[in-house]
């Protein structure tokens, strides 16, 4: 008979494993636990790490980790979305990314590129980056005169174009952003990955990488199903199911809400012992991975509130959790604070009742995300 797990147990386990009950020592530990911080919006990744870190998540700390220590690397990872990923995890992630290559070739074929043109374009991008960092437009200005106008669309494509394939093949990552034309504009620079890290990575085969990733995923986001894992990695059902099968006796089935799910066998005792922390409040920023890891969002969000959180164009709202369930969304703007310094003016929009006695905990969570600047909250 399978062990029955209650929803409060599952949510408590996930909150603890994701450092939302007790923060990680620093942002690098938090990023490793999460299997990267989603960085389609760069500032959102920083908020994800601040929500879970006791130290090391100030803007300057993240910049040092990315551009000096290079212990974090920005590149396309699971779901083909940008992440801040610990460099030690890149072999696993690149093993996963190799599974995306056929999909990229299908995309390019629909845009009229032959396999030979794709190979030529990837080789040209890699060769250019071996000479130094380039933006999309730098690559276009350099390579289109050599290759022809056919190369321009996939070099300048705002979704990554040919650079996404070069990244999936382990050649490319993001370097520092540089100021571009236009007030406040920032243009991404791309660099040669092996040169950036100062070493060549040994990448496992895709099946091994998927099993390793599934093991890491279940340790943090379990109990979960192969369908949940498929959503998290953004890939086909077959490899996700195979990854769970490859874990074999490392995982055990449980029931969660009368449905079958899986957890690592070594984590079952912790899961069964998990209990909600009284009045626990967690404040999460945009695109938080807590909201991206399961198909059944009803585990932590009432269905009638989905449009407020899962918005158009894939936008994921900042939220407030009570014992792991979404009770409010929030927005903020930067305003003038004491002594001319910045402050956050935060508007909370309750989805369920939010109590005045919860305001101190909400404010503490927001101040952690703000980097310590003053926070003024309305809506509670």
Q: What is the pLDDT of residues 53-104, one digit of tens each?
A: 998 899 999 999 999 999 999 999 999 999 999 999 999 999 999 988 999 9
Q: What is the pLDDT of residues 93-107, one digit of tens each?
A: 999 999 889 999 999
Mean pLDDT over the full length of the chain: 95
Rounded distance between C-alpha atoms, residue 234 and residue 164, angstroms = 15
- Predicted confidence at residue 183, as pLDDT, reads 47
Percentage above 70 pLDDT, the chain: 98
pTM of the model: 0.95
Does the N-terminal peptide bond of residue 223 adopt cis geometry, omega within 30 degrees of 0? yes
Q: What is the pLDDT of residues 32-43, one digit of tens each?
A: 999 999 999 999
Is the pLDDT assigned to residue 179 strictly greater than 80? Answer: no
Rounded distance between C-alpha atoms, residue 102 and residue 300, angstroms = 35
Q: What is the pLDDT of residues 252-302, one digit of tens each?
A: 999 998 899 999 999 999 999 999 998 899 999 999 999 999 999 999 999
Rounded distance between C-alpha atoms, residue 166 and residue 160, angstroms = 10
Rounded distance between C-alpha atoms, residue 97 and residue 217, angstroms = 16
- Predicted confidence at residue 340, as pLDDT, reads 72
What is the token pair recorded at 135?
């933006």
Burial class, 269, CB count within 10 angstroms (exposed 0-12 / middle 13-18 / buried 19+): exposed
Can you list the alpha helix ranges (DSSP code H) found in the chain? 7-17, 27-34, 42-50, 59-67, 90-97, 101-110, 115-129, 136-147, 152-156, 161-168, 193-197, 206-221, 226-233, 237-247, 268-273, 306-309, 359-370
Beta strand 251-256 with 189-192 is unpaired
């Amino acid at each position: 008979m399978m062990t029955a797990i209650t929803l409060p147990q599952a949510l408590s386990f996930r909150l603890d494993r994701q450092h939302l009950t007790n923060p990680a020592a620093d942002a690098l530990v938090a990023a490793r636990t999460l299997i990267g911080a989603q960085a389609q919006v760069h500032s959102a990744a920083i908020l994800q790490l601040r929500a879970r870190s006791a130290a090391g998540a100030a803007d300057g700390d993240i910049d040092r980790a990315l551009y000096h220590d290079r212990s974090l690397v920005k590149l396309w990872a699971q779901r083909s979305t940008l992440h801040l990923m610990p460099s030690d995890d890149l072999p696993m992630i690149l093993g996963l990314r190799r599974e995306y290559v056929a999909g990229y070739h299908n995309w390019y074929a629909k845009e009229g590129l032959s396999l030979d043109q794709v190979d030529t374009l990837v080789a040209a991008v890699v060769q250019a980056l071996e000479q130094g960092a380039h933006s999309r437009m730098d690559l276009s200005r350099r390579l289109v005169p050599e290759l022809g106008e056919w190369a321009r669309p996939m070099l300048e494509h705002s979704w990554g174009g040919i650079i996404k394939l070069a990244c999936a093949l382990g050649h490319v990552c993001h370097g520092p952003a540089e100021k571009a034309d236009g007030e406040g504009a920032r243009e991404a620079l791309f660099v040669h990955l092996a040169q950036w890290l100062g070493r060549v990575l040994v990448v496992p085969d895709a099946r091994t990488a998927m099993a390793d990733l599934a093991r890491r995923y279940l340790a943090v986001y379990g109990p979960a199903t192969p369908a949940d894992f498929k959503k998290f990695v953004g890939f086909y059902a077959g490899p996700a199911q195979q990854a769970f099968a490859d874990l074999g006796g490392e995982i055990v089935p449980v029931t969660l809400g009368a449905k079958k799910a899986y957890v690592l066998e070594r984590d079952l005792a912790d899961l069964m012992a998990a209990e909600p922390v009284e009045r626990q409040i967690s404040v999460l920023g945009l695109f938080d991975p807590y909201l991206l890891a399961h198909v059944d969002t009803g585990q932590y969000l009432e269905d009638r509130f989905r449009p407020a959180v899962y918005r158009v164009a894939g936008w994921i709202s900042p939220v407030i959790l009570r014992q792991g369930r979404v009770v409010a969304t929030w927005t903020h703007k930067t305003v003038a604070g004491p002594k001319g310094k910045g402050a956050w003016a935060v508007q909370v929009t309750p989805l369920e009742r939010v109590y005045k006695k919860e305001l101190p905990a909400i404010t503490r969570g927001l101040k952690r995300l703000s980097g310590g600047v003053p926070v003024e909250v309305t809506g509670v």
